[in-house]
Structures are given as structure tokens and as C-alpha cells.
Structure 1
Amino acid sequence: MSLRLENRADASVALKLLVSLGSGIAALLLVAIPVLAAGQNPITAYGLMVQGAFGSMFAFSETLNRATPLILTGLACAVAFRAKLWNIGAEGQLYIGALAAVLVGSGLLQMPPALMIPTVMIAGFICGGMMMVVPTMLKQRFGADEVVITLLLNFVVILFVQMLIEGPLKDPLAMGWPQSIPLDAEAKFSKLIPRLRMHWGLIVGIGAAIVLWILVRKTVLGFEIKAVGENRDAAKFAGIPVNATMLKVALISGGLAGLAGVSEVAGVKGYLSADLSPGFGYSGIVVAMLAGLSPIGTVFAALFVASVFVGADSMSRATGISNYLADLVVALSLLCVLVGTFFLRFRVRFERKAKSSAEA
């Protein structure tokens, strides 16, 4: 018996969905081991996580609120990865988008909400997009590694934001707390349901997923993105403007991450602080991979990751197990997805070895 690997021409949608679901389930099964080691029943712990994430209207709204920036950062990573442009800087792009929202929406312009909110969103999109366009241009001109550049820019941007909120943008009414001046009321997102934190950023995220799905599946740019991602040299030979396509992808990717920052500032906090994001940009990578880089799948993957984080907090209070269990679930989900991706690319064949005449 011998084992042989065959390249798959194209994995079916059903197989991609099976890999994504299987990765999440496999991660939960693996996490059951440390839960047992902590002296708790995994079924009980997971039941408490589900209850904490979906057990009431308040819990469900918190899950959706947590999923909103994950949808946008997941889309940012998904569209870039489709073109083999490795955007690891969604965290920094989120912060620069939030900074742009504060600069524009805290008194610089005086507009009614119908004009102010789109203006703030456009500012966040452009600033976030430029944070990805610059590394892409460096890659094209000098062969620089965009993984390293975007990763290091995360720390540069966060330190720059900290400097501003401790200095020229510091709110004098915050009693010394390091946060920026607040957004004007005209620049804030309205709540979807009174007395709950869900806001219009969720609609923006879902709308962005639909628009990106149409762009990828139904437009010339979507075809160019796929062609560049599959084989850059072949795409160039076929007449596709590879460099221009990559710059468009960079702008869209960074812009979506910038919108995540706008969503958090305008929809949740109302001001910029150094702890605006607990890692939404990095979690977006996991969301994109869990979704198989599908724009629509990104919405459901973000909901899964958000439910894990929100549910883990509730489970931790009830059982005493650390809520860092959520990070373990997310990390193992990513590892399982990477293993699943192998089986999306290759088909495993088992063959019987023919007996030689001497053996016969």
C-alpha cells in the first residue's frame, strides 16, 4: 500500500464549508483537554460559552457588537490574501482609521449627521488604505517584504496614537485618563436597538461583505484579483495590469481595516484610546482563514470568533477557568484551518503496490 498526493483542480464549495466547520469543531475538541485538566466538564464549559454568547438579547447584542470590527478586518485580510498580498497590518490600519475619524469628526467640520458620518467613514477608509498602499509600493519598487513592513507598522501606528492622545489630542475633561477628545454627536453611529450597544457599524460590515462578494464574483477587477493571486506571471503575460491591481487591492484591504477603526470610535467608545482594539486586526487573519477567504463566509466566521470571546468571559465567571481559553480556541482553529487547507489543495490516494514476478 502506497500513499500518493494529487493536486485538486478546484475544491468544491461544500468541501470548503466542511473544512471550515471541521476546523472549528476540531479546535473545540482539542481545547477540551486543558478544560479536563482544570477539573471541569468540557460539555458544561461549552454550554456556558453558548449561553454567554447567545443566551439573552443582551448577550447576543454583545456578540454582534464584538463581531462588527472582526467582519471588517476579516474582509480586509480576505481580499488581500486572494491576491497573495499578505496584509498583517490590519491592527495598525484600524488605529489609523480611528485616528482619522477623530480628527475629522471632533469639530474640524460642521455638518449634519447625513453628511458627517459618510465623511468620517471616507476619511477612515482612505487613511487605512494608504497604510497598505505604501508597503505595496515598496514591495513593487524595491522588493520589500510586505509581511515585515505591515507587521512593524502596527507598532509604529499604535505608539504614534499613544503620543497624540497623551499630547495634542488629549481630552482635558478626561481627568488625566489617556484618551482623545470625543467625537461630535453628528459623527457617531446610531444604535440599532435602544439600550443595547449594537450600532450601524454592523450594517456597514455586512454591506461591505455583500459589496466585496459582488466585486470578487461579478466584476473585471474580481477576475484580475483571482488571476494575480493564482499566477502573477501568467496574469502579466495575459495583459492584466498586475501592479495596478495590487494597488487597488491594497487600498480596499487597508480601507476596510480603517473602517473597523471608524466603527469602534463612532459606534462604541466615542473617542480614541490606546486600548481601542484588543487585537481585532490580528483576529481578522483567523476570521479570513476560517471563512476560506469568502466575503460572505467572513460574516459567519466573525460571528463564531466573537461568540467564543464573549462566551468565554461568561464561562470564566461561572467556572473559574481563565477566559484566555478563547485565545486557545481561536489559535487552534487557525492551525486546524491550515491543516484543512492542505486537503483542499491535495487529494490523498491510496494505491496497492503490484507484486513483482519474483515475489509471485
Structure 2
Amino acid sequence: MRLEKRSHSSPAALVLAPLGAVVFTLIVSSLLVLWAGAPVAQTYGLLLKGAFGSVFAWSETLTRAIPLILTGLAATVAFKARLFNIGAEGQLYAGALAAVAVGGMHGGTGIEWSPWVLFPLMMLAAALAGALLLLGPALMKARLGVDEVVTTLLFNFIVLLLVGAMLDGVMKDPLGMGWPQSVALQPDLELGKLVERTRVHTGLLWAVTLAVGLWALLKYTVLGFDIRAVGANARAAAFAGVPVTRTVVLVAMLSGALAGLAGAIEVAGRTSYVTLDMSPGYGYSGIVIAMLAGLHPLGVLAASVFVAGVLVGADSMSRAVGVPTYIADVIVAASLLSVLVATLLTQYRVRR
């Protein structure tokens, strides 16, 4: 058996491939639901109802989707240039820490800062923190050929240890009753609510705007062409005159900045302070979302809502029918593998 590249992929195959992947995912997950002794139809119905069955359910799903969109965009732009950024989790925490450092620890300077000045500075600090964290691995890859998968992954652990030290040290909230959390942001720096009496905030507008902006950058700008060229074949791109090292550095700065903004927006929109459990793996989930979206920035929006809906819906479903919430992780993982295989089969056919 061998794989033979297709001369072209039909539009019908491109449409049916993700649908087939979804069906396959539901079948695989159904076997686990049956194994747990629960009715499949009721389980899926409760999962959908818990994620999208009411205004409150939608608000919780969209709130969970906001950081997923930003980390998904961070992975998308990096993977487009074959820069495999596995460090979005650390970059998210670095951005959150920088946001609190600017927005919560600026007292004692003798200067009364206006929120109109402090808020942009807070977001800029978060973006720079995430960008600089990825800049080192990108330069090591471009200049020395060091595998960025290893370096970015290890940086996650370094950043989390740094965050732990800061939360137990200079950034510890004196009003936190000993709990390891940072000082809180000023109330004037927190993001407003999109829907009253829910947790969904205006960070959703930030995430959607950045997704559209990244799509336009990749499709209509010279930098976007350079990113796609480097991702397709770096040696050929260099031969054609594309500045490969500069492109990789710019991609790293952009990817890290998006992940850093995810941390800042999560702090300003939801938590108001930094804790070690602030992110339940948003940085790693962003990689799954980027792959589910086919590395398309607008597809990241739909993939993020899907993953967030599965995670949110699994909580209410588990309480009703007794199926463990880990079924959500199985659905997300199986959907990723299914989409990858389906995409492969649209480009290749199996030959004997």
C-alpha cells in the first residue's frame, strides 16, 4: 500500500472531508459513552444543550473561546512559517504577568495614570512579553538550527516556575489571605461585559478583530506572502530573494504577541489577577485549534467555539448522565486526528 498524490482535489471532497471527520469522531466517542453505560442520544443532546442551549450557555462557551482564539491564532501564524511554537502556554502567562505588572503594580510612582494611557501600555507590555519569549527560540532556530519544539516547550516550565516565584514574592496580593495570586488590576482597566449578568466580555471583539486582521495580513500583504513562502520551502524562498531570517523573527514576534495578549485579555476580562491555574492548557489547546482550522485564521474562530462548546457542554452533561468530563478531551483529540486524516485523503489516494 502506498500514498499517491492527487492531481487535484475536488470541491466536493474538500467539503465532505471535515463532515466525515465529524461523523467518525461522534462514532468513536459513542463507543466510550456506551461503555460508560449512558444513552448516546441523550448524552450528545445534553452536551449540546450545555454549550449552546441558552444565553447563559452561549456566554460561557464564548468566554472560554476567547483565549482559545488568540492562542489558536498564535499557533496558526507560527505554523504557517514552519515555526512550531509549542510555547503559547508560557507566553500566555508571561503576557498576563506583564499586564498585572503594568496595570496593578504601578503605585508609588507619584504619578496619577489615566486608564486611557495605562490600558494601551498594559496590552503593549503583554504583547512584548510574549513576543520576546518566543524571539530567543526563533533566533536559535534561524541561526543555529536548534529545534524550536524543544526550546519553546521547555520555556513553558521555566515561565510557570517564574510565575510561581512572583506570586509568592513581590507580586503577591497582600489581601489574598495567603493564597498565591497576584495583585488585582485597577477596576478601570477591566474589560466591559458584552451581555449583562454573564461573563462574556469585550475581549471577544478583540479576538475576532485580530483573526480578521491576521487573515488579511496573510492573504494581501508582502509579509503574508513571505510567511507562506518560507512555510512552503525555506530554501526555495531564500533562493527567490525572501529574507528568511527576518520573516521567521517577525513571525515569532507576532505569534508570541498574540499569545501574550491572550493572557492580558484573560486577566482584564475574567480573572482580574494571575494565578497558577488561570489557564487549563489554553496554549496547548491552541495547537489543536490551529490544526482543526487548517491553519486558516477565520477557521480558528469556528474551531475555538467548537472546542469551547465541547469543554463547557461536557460539564453539564457529566452531572446529568454520569459520563466523565474526560470525554470532552477524547472528542477534541479524535476530531483533530480525524480532520488530519481526512485532509490527507483529499490530497492523496491509497494505491496497492
- TM-score when normalising by structure 2: 0.94
Aligned-partner Cα distance in 1 for 2:93–2:12? 36
Aligned-partner Cα distance in 2 for 1:19–1:67? 24
Which residue, 99, 102, 105 being the options, matches 1:101?
A: 99
Equivalence map 1:19-38=2 (5 Å): 19-38=17-36
* Aligned equivalent of 2:69: 71
Which residue, 40, 52, 55 being the options, matches 1:57?
A: 55
Q: Quote how far apart the aligned CAs of 1:15 are.
A: 4.5
Amino acid corresponding to residue 71 of structure 1 in structure 2: I
Change (3 A) 1:19 1:284: farther
Aligned-partner Cα distance in 2 for 1:254–1:35? 38
* Aligned equivalent of 1:91: 89
* Aligned equivalent of 2:140: 138
* Aligned equivalent of 2:306: 304
Q: Deviations over 1:191-238 (max 9, x none)?
A: 112211111111111001000000011111111111111111110000
Which residue, 261, 264, 270 being the options, matches 1:262?
A: 264
Which residue, 114, 117, 121 being the options, matches 2:116?
A: 114
Aligned-partner Cα distance in 2 for 1:132–1:16? 34
* Aligned equivalent of 1:129: 131
Aligned-partner Cα distance in 2 for 1:311–1:67? 13
Aligned-partner Cα distance in 1 for 2:84–2:168? 32
Residues 83 and 225 in structure 1, CA contact (< 8 A), matched pair in contact too: yes
Q: Quote how far apart the aligned CAs of 1:21 are.
A: 3.8
* Aligned equivalent of 1:48: 46
Amino acid corresponding to residue 251 of structure 1 in structure 2: M
Q: Quote how far apart the aligned CAs of 1:185 are.
A: 1.5
**DSSP-derived class of the 1:259 partner:** helix
Residues 105 and 183 in structure 2, CA contact (< 8 A), matched pair in contact too: no
Residues 95 and 157 in structure 1, CA contact (< 8 A), matched pair in contact too: yes
* Aligned equivalent of 1:177: 179
Q: Deviations over 1:231-288 (max 9, x none)?
A: 1111000000000001111111111111110111110000000001000001111100
Residues 124 and 258 in structure 1, CA contact (< 8 A), matched pair in contact too: yes
**DSSP-derived class of the 1:87 partner:** coil
Amino acid corresponding to residue 108 of structure 1 in structure 2: H
185-194 or 237-246, which moves further after superposition? 185-194
Q: Quote how far apart the aligned CAs of 1:167 are.
A: 1.2
Residues 161 and 274 in structure 1, CA contact (< 8 A), matched pair in contact too: yes
**DSSP-derived class of the 1:347 partner:** strand
Equivalence map 1:209-224=2 (5 Å): 209-224=211-226
* Aligned equivalent of 1:336: 338
Residues 71 and 302 in structure 1, CA contact (< 8 A), matched pair in contact too: yes
Runs of 4+ deviating beyond 6 Å: none
Which residue, 135, 157, 160 being the options, matches 2:159?
A: 157
- TM-score when normalising by structure 1: 0.92
Amino acid corresponding to residue 320 of structure 1 in structure 2: G
Residues 16 and 292 in structure 1, CA contact (< 8 A), matched pair in contact too: no
Residues 20 and 291 in structure 1, CA contact (< 8 A), matched pair in contact too: no
Amino acid corresponding to residue 190 of structure 1 in structure 2: G
Larger radius of gyration: 1
Aligned-partner Cα distance in 1 for 2:290–2:15? 13
Aligned-partner Cα distance in 2 for 1:54–1:206? 19
Aligned-partner Cα distance in 2 for 1:34–1:303? 23
Aligned-partner Cα distance in 2 for 1:19–1:251? 34
Q: Which runs of 5+ in 1 are unaligned?
A: 351-360
Q: How high is the sequence identity, in percent, across the aligned residues? A: 53
Q: How many pairs were matched up?
A: 348
Aligned-partner Cα distance in 2 for 1:16–1:75? 22
Change (3 A) 1:171 1:10: farther
Change (3 A) 1:18 1:216: farther
Residues 107 and 184 in structure 1, CA contact (< 8 A), matched pair in contact too: no
